[in-house]
Amino acid sequence: MFLLFSVATALAALVSAPFAIAVAIVAAVFFAWSVWFFRDPDRTTPNGPNLVISPADGKVIKIDEAPLPKEVRDDAPGSTTQPMVRIAIFLNLFNVHVNRVPASGTITRTSYVPGKFLNASLDKASEHNERSAAVMVDAAGRPIGFVQIAGLVARRIVNGLKVGQAVTSGNRFGLIRFGSRAEVYVPRGTAIAVKVGDHVIAGQSVLATLPLARASP
């Protein structure tokens, strides 16, 4: 995705240069911006079998209880229609938008749902916006859900996860292009390590510590 944007803007800058300096400058600026936006810095992920790591850079805007999204709820091992603890993170245009797996385990369910492009900071974006959801279970059988949600400007969600895939905490798995929202669902009884207003870093910030024994979602 980054390569496509970079090549397109670079070519536009070169082709337009002899004819319109202003157009060339705009294309060059857009090229520089695309390089910056699609940056993918290395991160050091904390080790720990009970840690849940942030899947996205951004600001924690909500911590509440909600059931897993309906499209991944019924067939996800260990999950029910009962509420889980949900942590919502808002990504603005200036955040790194590469997403990372929040814990180690096995992917049990994935789903993509087309939808609207409401402001991602609104609660109704979780239900009405275009989104990609995944559920995994860790080595102790504890379910963890995470969702990529498109925003007002976002028009493309990339998620490379497959059912049955073994994943490691901090692994890159996808991207939401431009401003967007990410949500993490963890079992009740999980100790939450962040609060609303905190800024978190994908693959690095600890969101929560799972209970030692398997808990009902």
Sheet holding 105-113, edge to edge: 166-167, 105-113, 131-137, 143-150, 180-186, 84-91, 58-66, 199-200
C-alpha distance across the termini of the chain, in Å: 36
Structure tokens belonging to residue 61: 């805007």
In a domain, 46, yes or no: no
Are residue 24 and residue 61 in the same domain, yes or no? Answer: no
Is the pLDDT at 2 greater than 50, yes or no? no
In a domain, 27, yes or no: yes
In a domain, 24, yes or no: yes
Are residue 15 and residue 80 in the same domain, yes or no? Answer: no
In a domain, 162, yes or no: yes
Neighbouring C-beta atoms of residue 105, cutoff 10 Å: 23
- What is the domain range of residue 33? 2-37
In a domain, 128, yes or no: yes
So what's the pLDDT on residue 12? 57
In a domain, 44, yes or no: no
Q: Kindly name the residue from 79, 111, 180, 205 that is annotated as catalytic.
A: 180
So what's the pLDDT on residue 89? 97
Are residue 102 and residue 178 in the same domain, yes or no? Answer: yes
In a domain, 30, yes or no: yes
In a domain, 160, yes or no: yes
3-state secondary structure of 68: coil
So what's the pLDDT on residue 116? 81
Predicted confidence band at 123 (pLDDT cuts at 50, 70, 90)? confident
d(CA 188, CA 141): 14
d(CA 38, CA 34): 6
CATH of the domain at 96: 2.70.70
Query: Active site includes 111?
Result: no
| pTM of the complete model | 0.80
Q: Give the number of domains in the chain.
A: 2
Is the pLDDT at 179 greater than 90, yes or no? no
d(CA 10, CA 13): 5
Q: Which of 17-31, 58-72, 148-162, 196-210 has the lowest mean pLDDT?
A: 17-31
Are residue 55 and residue 132 in the same domain, yes or no? Answer: yes
